[in-house]
A and B are shown apart, each in its own frame.
Chain A
Amino acid sequence: MSESELNKRLAQIVGAENVSTESVDLLCYSRDASENVGMPDIVVWPNNTPQVSEIMKLANELKVPVTPRGAGTCLSGGPVPARGGVLLVLTRMNKILEIDITNLQVLVECGVVWQDLNNALTPYKLFLPPDPASRDACTIGGCIAECSGGIRAVKYGTFRDWALGLQVVLPNGEVIETGAKTRKGVSGYDLTRLFIGSEGTLGVITRTRLRIFPLPRYRLVMSAYFDSMESAGKAIFRVMTSDLIPSAAELMDKQTVEAVSKFINMKFPECVALAIFEFDGSSLGEVKRRIRQARKLCEREKATRVDVSETVEESDRLWRARKSAGPALATLKPSSLHEDATVPTSRIPEMLTRIKQIAQKHNVLIPTFGHVGDGNLHPIILYDERNPDEKKRAEAATADIFRAALELGGTLSGEHGIGLSKAPFFSMEHSSPETEVMRKIKNALDPNNILNPGKIWAGA
């Protein structure tokens, strides 16, 4: 069948107005928020699950690659069509199908935007806790496919911990429903968790049933300044191993604080490291008690200054500062690699020291910030891609960071996924027999390797 025949049949499935082969559209759909590029041959916008199923049947029959995409805010190349073919844009399937306040769960289509869902839950004083930074734009389907986390994952976990069940279109077009409506469930293999974080390689997630949670009445933010990374790391470790249970525990190093300060024109006290904690709860007295305890722990680790935000505006300002860390650093050099290597919480101080040594060894700038409360660091490797030597050093430093994280018992990716960006390093973390199990699962579901090929492990 010719390419135009494929396009014709896709148009029959979704309607001619919902496909495009215009070069401007192909170009704009060739990227996500990572450095990866891959040009699709056709962009398709289905409106419902039966259409997705028909598209998969057709693609499977013709052995044409299909790459699912939500809002394209991914940081690892997940929705970038590495082998061309059909780019399946799922954002028009964006209905909130059910808000079940009795059972504290929602049923949503994959294209629902995170913020829209939470806006719909606010009147019920409920929320969906995992909060990726891209919350205003990212879709729930994308969050499931990438197993997204965010700042509050330290207390509430990632999407893995909130999904009860999925509707998935398999590569052959069959539609399955995984999981159950119940909080508990051990009926058969946990297929829900198999698809969560599978980066769109095993099936197209079209619907999700998620648990939701009562919105805490109070949230207070505390910032603690330190004159060494080590003492900051120790303070965070102390808070994390106490019974204080912060809803966020973030760290910014000196370079990050300085870059943010310049970027958003906000003054910070002199420091080598800034730790930001958030505590939430239903009683103000209890939240304040935990803040006081956390302050003591920070002071014991020689914090030079500790501030508690008294108002929502002050807290918002601090979060805005933290959220601008990535972009602020990205302005320091023309190119940057945003990593999310993650280590067990107890190894944070060591990991921070290792990153510093790696930066010195390769003579590159690696400012670091991130969700240290759950060991999820975001070292940003800054370089100028026009300088081949610097680029080489940056890549070597990146490999060393992955190596260090793995040596400390960590993982390549805490929340961004492997995608295309980290596929070359996959074998550093996963043994051949383990990868072989993954290959077999992939092959069982997608024998023709048409769904998001080229992702996760090298040679996929």
Chain B
Amino acid sequence: MGIKLPEELEIEVYRCFRCGYCRAQCPVFKVKQNESWGTRGRMILIRSLIEGDIDATSSVLDRLYCCSLCKACETSCPALVRASDVYERLRESLVEQKQATLDKHQKIAEKILAEGNPFGLPRAERPSSYKRKNPSSAEILYFVGCVPSYRRPSIVRSVEKILATAGVKYTTLGAQELCCGSVLMRTGQTRTAKKLAQQNVKNFKELGVKKIVTVCPGCYLTLKVDYPKLVEDFPFEVLHISNFINQLLQTGKLKLTKQVGLKVTYHDPCHIGRRFNIYEAPRNVLLSIPGLKLVEMPHNRENSQCCGAGGGVKAAFSDVASNIGVSRMEEAAQTKADLLVTSCPFCCLNLDDAGRQAQLLPVSDLTEIVAEAL
């Protein structure tokens, strides 16, 4: 029995006529240089899975899960195949119909269920990096996210400083905050993600907020696109921090006064870039920093190259994520920039690791450099 996909996504698979133009885009293919690890190969494999010609063996699963869902292939696809939607839904079907998932992804789900974060670190330690704010009049929830909370607390401190300086009344969930479920949505574990969504939304409603600001593009995508499908009622406006800071600057609520005499290059995170076309807001913010010079990498905006971490790749294929990260950092180094800035804690983490490994330039989140300019 073949795997079943919803009709509208099955058509996407059959529309691929194997022109191979995606070879020039897929970051995983560029590292592996093997058809089976690129978009065209995955489409051949999925078609064979649908038709029942092959089974979901571990080799097949590796190929289907080793994609960061960066959407780069979609920018060059003449048949307009929505590959990342196909992969996400296919992974869900694999989990539901074949119980086929990768051990490393399943372990993440277990950790999230146990401690509310993908690292399995104690739930109570989540707010250790920041003071919980909870004014009753707050309309805005700052959804902190797991990576800043546990892996890069300087992002949290920076956001707090920015919001306080601008006089934004906001609240946080503290130890009550749960993983948004992004990694689960990207790896087909929708049922578990739904549980998190229900609990998170219940908490949002109790706070009485209307807007939610996220720093992590993964949280942003999940809250903005997936939550309205996972829960019945989702009456919240979701904002990405880059847009939010840009608004604060434009309305004069935030002023960046301190000189930051650095030459920086900006890395577009896939989940806000190609997904939502958020390209200019983070650049406007950077250009508002006195003394800062912005230089572009050849691959920028819709042609940006993925950092390699997303879609469950860093968790299950750390070598691939690392190789892709190094190649992106090499591109950044060629601009002769002093610093790479991105607007995603997870990109930040992966590129920082890659940059250290290859002894290239340092990496900052947008919020960190903005806080420096205050």
Q: Let me know if B35 and A72 touch, CB within 8 A.
A: yes
Query: A23's contact among B14, B17, B59, B76, by CB below 8 Å, is which?
Result: B59
Q: Let me know if A28 and B41 touch, CB within 8 A.
A: yes
Q: Using known A-B contacts A45-B33, A263-B80, determine if residue A24 contacts B60 with beta carbons closer than 8 Å.
A: yes
Say yes or no: is A266 at the interface (Cβ < 8 Å to chain B).
no
Q: Let me know if A72 and B34 touch, CB within 8 A.
A: no
User: Which residues of A have CB within 8 Å of B48?
Assistant: 27
User: Which residues of A have CB within 8 Å of B22?
Assistant: 137
Produce 1/0 per residue, A121-155, CB < 8 A to B: 00000000000001011100000000000000000
Binds B, one of A96-104, A214-222, A271-279, A327-335: A327-335
Say yes or no: is A434 at the interface (Cβ < 8 Å to chain B).
no
Say yes or no: is A14 at the interface (Cβ < 8 Å to chain B).
no
Q: Let me know if B44 and A136 touch, CB within 8 A.
A: no
Q: Let me know if A324 and B21 touch, CB within 8 A.
A: no
User: Which residues of B have CB within 8 Å of A28?
Assistant: 34-36, 40-41, 44-45
User: Which residues of A have CB within 8 Å of B44?
Assistant: 27-28, 30-31
Q: How far is the CA of A115 from the CA of B15 in the complex (A)?
A: 25
User: Which residues of A have CB within 8 Å of B21?
Assistant: 73, 134, 136-137
Interface of B is mostly: helix
Q: Let me know if B20 and A27 touch, CB within 8 A.
A: no
Number of interface residues of A (CB under 8 A): 32
Interface residues of A in 4-35 (CB under 8 A from B): 20, 22-25, 27-33
Measured CB to CB, the nearest residue on chain B to A114 is B24
Say yes or no: is A113 at the interface (Cβ < 8 Å to chain B).
yes
Give the tally of cross-chain contacts (CB within 8 A): 83
Measured CB to CB, the nearest residue on chain B to A74 is B20
Q: Let me know if A25 and B36 touch, CB within 8 A.
A: yes
Query: B63's contact among A24, A30, A137, A324, by CB below 8 Å, is which?
Result: A24
Q: B51: shortest Cβ distance to chain A, in Å?
A: 12
Produce 1/0 per residue, B110-135, CB < 8 A to A: 00000000000000000000000000
Q: Let me know if A29 and B35 touch, CB within 8 A.
A: yes
Q: How far is the CA of A36 from the CA of B332 in the complex (A)?
A: 42
User: Which residues of A have CB within 8 Å of B54?
Assistant: 23-24, 27
Q: How far is the CA of A23 from the CA of B57 in the complex (A)?
A: 10
Q: How far is the CA of A300 from the CA of B220 in the complex (A)?
A: 58
Q: How far is the CA of A429 from the CA of B45 in the complex (A)?
A: 38
Say yes or no: is B78 at the interface (Cβ < 8 Å to chain A).
yes
Produce 1/0 per residue, B11-25, CB < 8 A to A: 000110111111110
Q: How far is the CA of A138 from the CA of B23 in the complex (A)?
A: 9
Q: Using known A-B contacts A24-B45, A33-B20, A326-B78, determine if residue A331 contacts B34 with beta carbons closer than 8 Å.
A: no
Measured CB to CB, the nearest residue on chain B to A94 is B33
Measured CB to CB, the nearest residue on chain B to A72 is B20
Say yes or no: is A442 at the interface (Cβ < 8 Å to chain B).
no
Q: Using known A-B contacts A29-B35, A323-B78, determine if residue A334 contacts B14 with beta carbons closer than 8 Å.
A: yes
Q: Among A22, A23, A24, A326, which residue has the most Cβ atoms of chain B within 10 A?
A: A24
Q: A173: shortest Cβ distance to chain B, in Å?
A: 24
User: Which residues of B have CB within 8 Å of A324?
Assistant: 78
Q: Let me know if B35 and A330 touch, CB within 8 A.
A: no
Q: How far is the CA of A17 from the CA of B150 in the complex (A)?
A: 38
Produce 1/0 per residue, A69-81, CB < 8 A to B: 0011100000000
Q: How far is the CA of A137 from the CA of B36 in the complex (A)?
A: 16
Q: How far is the CA of A29 from the CA of B35 in the complex (A)?
A: 7
User: Which residues of B have CB within 8 Å of A323?
Assistant: 78
Say yes or no: is A91 at the interface (Cβ < 8 Å to chain B).
yes
Q: Let me know if B17 and A327 touch, CB within 8 A.
A: yes
Q: A261: shortest Cβ distance to chain B, in Å?
A: 14
Q: How far is the CA of A323 from the CA of B76 in the complex (A)?
A: 11
Say yes or no: is A92 at the interface (Cβ < 8 Å to chain B).
yes
Say yes or no: is B79 at the interface (Cβ < 8 Å to chain A).
yes
Q: How far is the CA of A115 from the CA of B298 in the complex (A)?
A: 14
Q: How far is the CA of A30 from the CA of B40 in the complex (A)?
A: 12
Q: Let me know if B18 and A31 touch, CB within 8 A.
A: yes
Measured CB to CB, the nearest residue on chain B to A26 is B36
User: Which residues of B have CB within 8 Å of A334?
Assistant: 14
Number of interface residues of B (CB under 8 A): 28
Measured CB to CB, the nearest residue on chain B to A20 is B34
Q: How far is the CA of A134 from the CA of B54 in the complex (A)?
A: 29
Q: How far is the CA of A22 from the CA of B19 in the complex (A)?
A: 23
Q: Let me know if A137 and B41 touch, CB within 8 A.
A: no
Q: Let me know if B34 and A33 touch, CB within 8 A.
A: no
Q: B205: shortest Cβ distance to chain A, in Å?
A: 39
Measured CB to CB, the nearest residue on chain A to B42 is A28
Q: How far is the CA of A25 from the CA of B36 in the complex (A)?
A: 6
Q: How far is the CA of A33 from the CA of B22 in the complex (A)?
A: 12
Q: Let me know if B20 and A24 touch, CB within 8 A.
A: no
User: Which residues of A have CB within 8 Å of B23?
Assistant: 71, 136-137
Measured CB to CB, the nearest residue on chain A to B81 is A327
Q: Let me know if B19 and A73 touch, CB within 8 A.
A: yes
Q: How far is the CA of A438 from the CA of B21 in the complex (A)?
A: 33
Q: Using known A-B contacts A24-B36, A28-B41, A29-B35, determine if residue A330 contacts B15 with beta carbons closer than 8 Å.
A: yes
Q: Let me know if A33 and B79 touch, CB within 8 A.
A: no
Q: Among B15, B17, B19, B36, which residue has the most Cβ atoms of chain A within 10 A?
A: B19
Q: A451: shortest Cβ distance to chain B, in Å?
A: 21
Q: Let me know if B78 and A137 touch, CB within 8 A.
A: no
User: Which residues of A have CB within 8 Å of B80?
Assistant: 263, 327
Q: A145: shortest Cβ distance to chain B, in Å?
A: 15
Q: Using known A-B contacts A27-B48, A27-B54, determine if residue A33 contacts B17 with beta carbons closer than 8 Å.
A: yes
Q: How far is the CA of A30 from the CA of B103 in the complex (A)?
A: 30
Produce 1/0 per residue, B93-105, CB < 8 A to A: 0000000000000
Q: How far is the CA of A330 from the CA of B45 in the complex (A)?
A: 21
Query: B59's contact among A22, A29, A32, A115, by CB below 8 Å, is which?
Result: A22
Interface residues of B in 1-53 (CB under 8 A from A): 14-15, 17-24, 33-36, 40-41, 44-45, 48
Q: Using known A-B contacts A113-B24, A115-B24, determine if residue A331 contacts B35 with beta carbons closer than 8 Å.
A: no
Q: How far is the CA of A45 from the CA of B36 in the complex (A)?
A: 14
Q: How far is the CA of A20 from the CA of B17 in the complex (A)?
A: 24
Q: A390: shortest Cβ distance to chain B, in Å?
A: 17
Q: A281: shortest Cβ distance to chain B, in Å?
A: 28
Query: A25's contact among B18, B19, B34, by CB below 8 Å, is which?
Result: B34
Q: How far is the CA of A32 from the CA of B23 in the complex (A)?
A: 13
User: Which residues of B have CB within 8 Å of A25?
Assistant: 34-36
Interface residues of A in 314-373 (CB under 8 A from B): 323-324, 326-327, 330-331, 334
User: Which residues of A have CB within 8 Å of B40?
Assistant: 28
User: Which residues of B have CB within 8 Å of A27?
Assistant: 36, 44-45, 48, 54
Q: Using known A-B contacts A27-B54, A327-B79, determine if residue A92 contacts B33 with beta carbons closer than 8 Å.
A: yes
User: Which residues of B have CB within 8 Å of A31?
Assistant: 18, 44
Q: Using known A-B contacts A27-B48, A72-B20, determine if residue A327 contacts B78 with beta carbons closer than 8 Å.
A: yes
Q: A42: shortest Cβ distance to chain B, in Å?
A: 13
Measured CB to CB, the nearest residue on chain A to B48 is A27
Q: How far is the CA of A136 from the CA of B25 in the complex (A)?
A: 9
Beyond A27-B45, A29-B36, A331-B79, 13 additional contacts (C-beta under 8 Å) are A22-B59, A24-B41, A24-B54, A28-B34, A29-B35, A31-B18, A31-B44, A32-B18, A72-B20, A134-B19, A136-B23, A137-B22, A138-B20
List of 7 A-B pairs having minimum Cβ-Cβ separation, nearest first? A28-B41, A28-B36, A136-B24, A28-B35, A327-B78, A327-B79, A137-B23
Question: Would you give 6 A-B contacts (Cβ < 8 Å), ordered by A?
Answer: A20-B34, A24-B41, A24-B45, A27-B44, A33-B20, A137-B22
